[in-house]
Structure 1
Amino acid sequence: MDKQALDIPRIGVLPSGPLDSICDVGEVTVGHRTLAEGPLQTGVTVVRPHGGDPYLDKVPAAATVLNGFGKSTGLVQVQELGVLETPIALTNTFGVGTMANAQIRAAVAANPGIGRGMATVNPLVFECNDGYLNDIQALAVQESHYADALAAADKPFEQGAVGAGRGMSCFSFKGGIGSASRVASIQAGPQYTVGALVLANFGRLPNLTVAGRPFGRRLAAQLDSGLAQAGENAAIAPEKGSIILLLATDAPLDSRQLRRLSLRAGAGLARTGSVFGHGSGDIALAFSTAYTVPQLPEQPMPAVAMLHEARIDPLFEAAAEACEQAIISALWHADGVTGRDGNQRAAIRDAAPQWRQWLSDTEF
């Protein structure tokens, strides 16, 4: 289902790209492999930065760790060298090693000299813990699922309880994959697009804020006694979830500027009600599709005119707004799921069918 069909709350004032997703940027595509059978509620999501081989044609990138309670792999080299050299994989916490192996095998298959005459490859995998709905101890994610997700990568893609988002929870409801884009106009210059994709698995219901409104508090008050009590307990319980925030832009930024852009994902996250809690792994990564960096030293380095620092603020605004919208999109797209031991997460749009009225209520 698309945003228009679902009538998802519209965040902010900036225009969206035609898809209102991360795939509005360059050649970026997204693919999923979903596992949904009984206690196995998990999967893999892959983001391809371009249609070629990112090991040979690397993409400038940088990351920000907002709160480091996470088990991602590959971030150290991204921070040191400022490039991506594999697609980005998202999965559950116990699937990180499997996905890293799958990325290495795929890169070696395409470039047999890796680790011999050529440099090794840096797999890049992000995770969230889906253990409430998914039997995470079953280690259900396999290397073949990475290949499936990679093969499925396309411009249009599903959001919500799919791929890596299948077993994720958000503000006590069903979370998962969400995406959005915003178009930034640079003064006396061109327009650039910033796209966001999130793996949303965080938040306490009373803190949920939608378009600046205290949506979670009102929703908790409207629920039946059992869920209302859960909302009250959540108000004093520590935040234990996580979120991965990916940003893509076609603006010509270097890795230092991309680190600054990735930091603004935290502004969008905070607007939805997150405080980057102790037990939450909140990591943002930004990359640019404006140019690539060659693996082979005999190939020329790109000659790119970077965006002047004094003109970067519109991109910061677009990044914050796109991330905020992507989180709301994950919540509104996600269908309810029953998983391990009968644990359930309901769809927020089913729990609050009157949400349009709430957001238009001047006394809210």
Structure 2
Amino acid sequence: MSINDPHLRTPSGKPRLRAFALALDGTPGRFNAITDVPGVTVGYSTLISGDGPLQVGTGPIRTGVTAILPRLRGELATPVFAGVFSQNGNGELTGTHIIEETGAFSLPITITNTHSCGVARDGTLRWMQRVLPAALDSAWGLPVAAETYDGFLNDINGQHVNFEHVAAALDGATGGAIEEGSVGGGTGMISFGFKAGSGTASRIVEWHDSRYTVGVFVQANFGKRRNFTLRGRRIRPELAAPAVFEGTPRAEKGSIIAIVASDAPFLAHQMKRLARRVPLGVAGTGGYGYHSSGDIFLAFSTANSEAALASGRIARASFIPDVDIDPFFDAVVQAVEEAILNAVVANEDMTGRDGNFVPALPKEWLNNW
């Protein structure tokens, strides 16, 4: 692999986990990203400004918005079969009731900070009215919007995310290699006492004569340093330092949102089964679903678009049998684990409100792993 290989570095040159030659399971897609699933695109709006003491409404600001489009822009009104699983519900993901009821959702997904989740949801509707008004002319919209807490680094009560930032993330959604780390909704996030945020990975699954992709995107903001695990090895003794500096005492408010996408033909109950496997990948990095953690996971399939739109006729959908689903479980667990680690590795130190400091995972430690 060359240094420009997207498996090794993000578009801006930040290292990914595979840059350190660790042995990983499974076969990644071309970009090792959720965007390896055809039609799925990702966009960011990143807000970083100010330093020093917190002044609510002014800053410092360390936040943003992530947008994930499950279909191409002109096809966003076409539902995708989906399932949701909450490992620990101390968080929010809107649109879950209609997903539980019908096994599907439409429109883009947004992820941001806890106190801007409503802005992201409503901003999605404003954006849809502008770019695809026919989708809302005679129907309602129930967008999926999710959140994790960034108040240790960010002026979270300052309401700095606005509709324009949501629109910018949606407008900027693209395929191919995408950024990771402190970008978009992940800008102010922390995992295991290290700077974290946005991460992604993918796996290829061969099934009979077909080849499918499972892609994962995470907003990682969870975990305690003492539990951090890399490829099955608990690494607490080696990484006691550098430590988080708390100019303002930090309460435990960790969470993780994970989005699983696939082009494999699955029905809604099967997507829920995939979502239920996300916690196994989280646990592989040392996340245990503590009380204050919002661990909420959504899985969707881009297949069967005609069945999702059927009206006035019998709908027919193809699907892989449940007895053959195990390789896709493997893919979810593997991609979730790697996406979380990418979110941590593709990062740098960050100082935010009140001088609160979060170190990056030391790269020299990875080189000597």
**TM-score scaled to structure 2, two decimals?**
0.87
For 2:35, the equivalent position in structure 1 comes to: 23
CA spacing shift, 1:113–1:22, aligned 2, 3 Å: closer
Tell me, yes or no, if the aligned pair for 1:35 and 1:43 is still in contact at 8 Å.
yes
Q: How many Å separate the matches in 2 of 1:296 and 1:64?
A: 24
Instruction: State whether structure 2 residue 360 is matched by structure 1 residue 356.
Output: no
State the Cα distance separating 1:11 from its structure 2 match: 5.7
For 2:48, the equivalent position in structure 1 comes to: 36
- Deviations 1:209-232 (CA, angstroms, capped at 9, x unpaired): 011111234211xx26xx3999xx
Map residues 221-232 of structure 1 onto 2, 5 A cutoff. 223=241, 227=243
Q: Secondary structure at the match of 1:354?
A: helix
Instruction: State whether structure 2 residue 120 is matched by structure 1 residue 99.
Output: yes
CA spacing shift, 1:239–1:137, aligned 2, 3 Å: closer
For 2:54, the equivalent position in structure 1 comes to: none
Tell me, yes or no, if the aligned pair for 1:239 and 1:277 is still in contact at 8 Å.
no
Map residues 52-201 of structure 1 onto 2, 5 A cutoff. 52-109=73-130, 110-111=132-133, 114=136, 118-155=138-175, 156-186=177-207, 188-201=208-221
Q: Secondary structure at the match of 2:233?
A: coil
- Deviations 1:296-351 (CA, angstroms, capped at 9, x unpaired): 66476753321011100000000000000000000000222111111111111xx3
Tell me, yes or no, if the aligned pair for 2:7 and 2:31 is still in contact at 8 Å.
no
- Deviations 1:214-261 (CA, angstroms, capped at 9, x unpaired): 1234211xx26xx3999xxxxxx9853000011011110011000000
Q: Which one of the candidate residues 69, 84, 93 is aligned to 1:48?
A: 69
Code of the residue aligned with 2:68 in structure 1: it is V
For 1:335, the equivalent position in structure 2 comes to: 348
CA spacing shift, 1:60–1:346, aligned 2, 3 Å: same
Tell me, yes or no, if the aligned pair for 1:208 and 1:217 is still in contact at 8 Å.
no
Q: Secondary structure at the match of 1:323?
A: helix
State the Cα distance separating 1:19 from its structure 2 match: 0.2
Tell me, yes or no, if the aligned pair for 2:266 and 2:319 is still in contact at 8 Å.
yes
Tell me, yes or no, if the aligned pair for 1:34 and 1:42 is still in contact at 8 Å.
yes
Q: Which one of the candidate residues 1, 8, 28 is aligned to 1:4?
A: 8
Q: How many Å separate the matches in 2 of 1:130 and 1:113?
A: 33
Q: Secondary structure at the match of 1:78?
A: helix
Code of the residue aligned with 1:44 in structure 2: it is V
**Comparing 300-309 and 198-207, the one that deviates more:** 300-309
Q: How many Å separate the matches in 2 of 1:90 and 1:291?
A: 26
Code of the residue aligned with 2:112 in structure 1: it is T
State the Cα distance separating 1:97 from its structure 2 match: 1.0
For 2:255, the equivalent position in structure 1 comes to: 242
Code of the residue aligned with 1:356 in structure 2: it is N
Give me the identity figure in percent: 37
For structure 1, the residue ranges without an aligned partner over 5 or more in a row are 231-236, 359-364
Q: Secondary structure at the match of 1:19?
A: coil
Code of the residue aligned with 2:8 in structure 1: it is Q
Q: Secondary structure at the match of 2:82?
A: strand
Code of the residue aligned with 1:167 in structure 2: it is G
For structure 2, the residue ranges without an aligned partner over 5 or more in a row are 10-14, 51-59
**Comparing 9-18 and 255-264, the one that deviates more:** 9-18
Code of the residue aligned with 1:47 in structure 2: it is I
CA spacing shift, 1:54–1:10, aligned 2, 3 Å: farther
State the Cα distance separating 1:105 from its structure 2 match: 1.7
- Deviations 1:28-61 (CA, angstroms, capped at 9, x unpaired): 1100000000110000000011113455311111
Tell me, yes or no, if the aligned pair for 1:10 and 1:325 is still in contact at 8 Å.
no
CA spacing shift, 1:24–1:55, aligned 2, 3 Å: closer
CA spacing shift, 1:241–1:357, aligned 2, 3 Å: same
Tell me, yes or no, if the aligned pair for 2:111 and 2:145 is still in contact at 8 Å.
yes
TM-align CA RMSD? 2.3
Q: How many Å separate the matches in 1 of 2:313 and 2:153?
A: 49
Q: How many Å separate the matches in 1 of 2:151 and 2:276?
A: 28
- In the alignment of these two chains, the number of paired residues is 344
**TM-score scaled to structure 1, two decimals?**
0.88
Q: How many Å separate the matches in 1 of 2:119 and 2:102?
A: 24
